[in-house]
Amino acid sequence: MNADLEQNFIKLLSENQNLIHKVCRIYTSDVDNHNDLFQEITIQLWKAYPKFRGESKFTTWAYRVALNTAITIFRKNSKIQITDDYEKHSFVIAQEEYNNEEEEQLKLMYQAIHQLNDIEKALIFMYLEDKDYQEISETLGISEVNARVKMNRIKTKLKKILNP
């Protein structure tokens, strides 16, 4: 593959890397796994890049590859264990803007999300990203109606985890 293509790709990825970080944030719970998944997504994006024709936006295309990598082809399974180290290292919660109660709620919420299965995580991720149900259903390959039903079930599930 030629050097120009590589340079272009690195530039695009570098500018849009937060997108990948966000997927890693949902699917991994420590720094090592975060970095491993980031690397795997980067490799998969790069491998698929020559076929990227720019018909869709780079980010839309990258979302799909990143989610597919996390759900389907990334081989390592991250253990459910959120270390304080991870919170500090890779994702800084802007604590000063929340009161204590909200801060606690947020922490519990992130922990609850890490207890969901991979598919549920994908739905929550796209919900947080403000994706509409059409895009969610196309990305996952399920019907729009069922994506909606599932989303409501996940909300109920999260409620149960938070208030057992």
Partner 1 sequence: MKELDLLKKDWKKNETNFQQISSQEIYKMLHGNSSSVVKWILIISLLEFAFWLSISFLFSNDAYIKTIQKENLVLFFDVLNYINYAVILIFIYFFYKNYKKISVVSSTRQLMSDILKTRKTVNYYVLYNISLFTIGFIGGILMISLSTSILNNAFKTTESSLLFVLVCLGMLLFCVTILWLFYKLLYGFLLKKLHTNYSELKKIDFD
d(CA 155, CA 161): 10
CB 144 within 8 A of CB 98: no
Q: Which of 29, 158 has the CB closer to partner 1?
A: 158
d(CA 44, CA 49): 8
Q: Which of 43, 80 has the CB closer to partner 1?
A: 43
d(CA 23, CA 91): 12
Q: C-alpha distances in angstroms, 108 versus 2, 32, 103, 143, 155?
A: 47, 22, 9, 31, 14
How near is the Cβ of 139 to partner 1 at its closest, in Å?
A: 6
Helix, strand or coil for residue 80? coil
| Cβ burial, residue 45 (10 Å; 0-12/13-18/19+) | buried
How near is the Cβ of 164 to partner 1 at its closest, in Å?
A: 14
How near is the Cβ of 117 to partner 1 at its closest, in Å?
A: 6
- In the DSSP assignment, the letter for residue 76 is P
Q: Which of 69, 76, 154, 77 is CA-nearest to residue 113?
A: 154
How near is the Cβ of 72 to partner 1 at its closest, in Å?
A: 5
How near is the Cβ of 118 to partner 1 at its closest, in Å?
A: 5
